[in-house]
Amino acid sequence: MGHLWKEDGQGFLEYGLVIIIVAVIIIALLFIFGNRVGLMFSNIVNLI
């Protein structure tokens, strides 16, 4: 029974790490491309 708990804990840890890595990548992309995306949305709003 203890072995099963360890595997479940490891699975949760892996999912947590994947979520953290994806979040860090998204934040980095927002810092890199944030101004361009904001400018693009501003241009779209101005066209409407």
For the chain, 48 residues long, give each residue's pLDDT as a single digit of tens.
445 555 666 788 889 899 999 999 999 988 888 788 788 888 888 888
| 30: its two tokens | 């927002």
User: How far apart, in whole angstroms, are the C-alpha atoms of residue 37 and residue 24?
Assistant: 18
Running DSSP on this structure, what letter comes out for residue 19? Answer: H
User: How far apart, in whole angstroms, are the C-alpha atoms of residue 12 and residue 19?
Assistant: 11
Q: What's the predicted TM-score (pTM) here? A: 0.57
